[in-house]
Amino acid sequence: MNENKACDRDCLSGIVCKVENCIYNKSGCKCTAEEIKVGPAHACCSSDTVCSTFKPSKH
């Protein structure tokens, strides 16, 4: 199976992620997590937010 084709199906549409060392960012894909969680609730600007779904890859 072409790995890029599988990745296209599994990526969350409209999500751009440039974190190369996250287990959910596969083969240059955007995001393959089932869902993403962004927080914290008290954020005042975009630089205050983080993706709490992030898990580092084991490379």
For 20-43, write each residue's pLDDT tens digit: 899 998 767 789 999 999 999 999
Query: How would you label 9-36 residue by residue, b for 16+ Cβ within 10 Å and e otherwise?
Result: eebbeeeebeeeebebbbeebbbbbeee
Residues of the chain with pLDDT > 70: what percent? Answer: 81
Can you give the pLDDT at residue 12? Answer: 84
Whole-model pTM: value is 0.67
pLDDT-based confidence at residue 1 (cuts at 50, 70, 90): very low
pLDDT-based confidence at residue 2 (cuts at 50, 70, 90): very low
